[in-house]
Amino acid sequence: MNGKIMYTLLKKDIKSCLANKNILVSVLIPIFFCALYRYLFSGIGEGMQGFVLNISAIFAISIIPTSILPIMIAEEKEKYTLRSLMLAHVRGHEFLTSKILVCLGMTAVVSTAVFFIAGGDGQDYFAYLAAAMVSAAGLCFLGAMAGLLSKDQASAGTISAPLTLLTMLPPLFSGFNDVFERISAVVPTTSFQTIYTAVQSGQNILSGNSLTAIIVCAVWIAGGAVLFDVFYRRKGIDC
């Protein structure tokens, strides 16, 4: 990986994100909902603060990798700028790494905003952020594949909507029954919830359910990278 090319791509991607209204709106949605829920549930009880933080963080971790990342990739395909980059000597993994890093950066910013709006405990912030990043990283390859499959931003939106729901809903409904709980255990957003809950209650995150949650995220990251590589070799990034 060429460091100078990566730096150039990162600068370009950050500029493009800031100029894309679709992306800016999508990024603000979790922050808006966090503020709204905080206002709606204020005065109901202390437990609601944790609920607001939990739901808003899960929203942020879901929406950015599965919705914004596909849009970022699809935009470049739609406008043929991806082809221009490939015809220069930008490699597929360089292009994607830059997009994923920007995505994770946005996740960090939004998750931080959500944490403080929801009134999270400052002592837990770094553990919260680490759990959010690990969880989001696992979902980035899913979003990257959705971006590869999309011809344009409109189809990226169509493909990513069910993906966002599939990653967002399991942790919210995992307590409803055993089957749902088992299914949701393999989703990275549930892993975030498990790890953060362990941190809040002072448990060792490297044991029990939270260790399983960390392993789930690691499997998603490794498996996603391998699958993506296979998919890219077959279809090519500019398909």
Partner 1 sequence: MTNILKANQLTKTFGNVKALDHCDLEIRKGEIFGYLGPSGAGKTTTIKLLTGQLHSDAGEVTVLGKNPFSPEIRQQIGIMSDMSGLYEKMTVYENLDIFADIYGVKNKKKKIKETLEAVDLYDNRKKKVEKLSRGMKQRLVFARTILHNPRLLFLDEPTANLDPATADEIRELITKLNRNGTTVFLTTHNMEEADELCHRIALLNKGHIVECGSPEELKLKYSKKKVLITTGKGKKEISLDKNELIDELEKTEDLLMIHSEEPSLRDVFLSLTKEENA
* 40 versus 230: smaller Cβ distance to partner 1: 230
Distance CA(64)–CA(113), nearest Å, equals 14
CA atoms within 13 A on the CB side of 36: 8
- The answer to the question of residue 15 lying near partner 1 (CB under 8 A) is yes
User: DSSP class of residue 124?
Assistant: G
Q: Draw the binding track, 53-92, toward partner 1 (x: CB under 8 A; -: no contact).
A: -----------------------x--xxxxxxxxxxxx--
- The answer to the question of residue 233 lying near partner 1 (CB under 8 A) is no
Nearest-5° angle of CA 7, CA 9, CA 10?
65
- The answer to the question of residue 234 lying near partner 1 (CB under 8 A) is no
Tell which residue, 75, 98, 42, 82, has the closest CA to residue 160. Answer: 75
Q: How far is the CB of 72 from partner 1 (least distance, A)?
A: 13
Q: How many CB atoms lie within 10 A of CB 166?
A: 14
Q: Draw the binding track, 159-188, toward partner 1 (x: CB under 8 A; -: no contact).
A: ------------------------------
Q: How far is the CB of 86 from partner 1 (least distance, A)?
A: 8
- The answer to the question of residue 204 lying near partner 1 (CB under 8 A) is no
Q: How far is the CB of 85 from partner 1 (least distance, A)?
A: 7
- The answer to the question of residue 5 lying near partner 1 (CB under 8 A) is yes
Distance CA(50)–CA(154), nearest Å, equals 35
Q: Cβ distance 78 to 238 under 8 Å?
A: no
Q: How far is the CB of 2 from partner 1 (least distance, A)?
A: 9
Q: How far is the CB of 128 from partner 1 (least distance, A)?
A: 34
* 18 versus 206: smaller Cβ distance to partner 1: 18
Range 118-127, long-range pairs (CB < 8 A, 24+ positions): 118/34, 118/37, 118/38, 118/49, 118/52, 118/53, 118/56, 118/57, 119/38, 119/49, 119/52, 119/53, 120/53, 121/200, 124/196, 124/199, 124/200, 127/195, 127/196, 127/199, 127/205
* 36 versus 239: smaller Cβ distance to partner 1: 239
Instruction: State the number of binding residues for partner 1 (CB under 8 A).
Output: 22
Binding site for partner 1 (CB under 8 A): 4-5, 7-8, 12, 15-16, 19-20, 76, 79-90
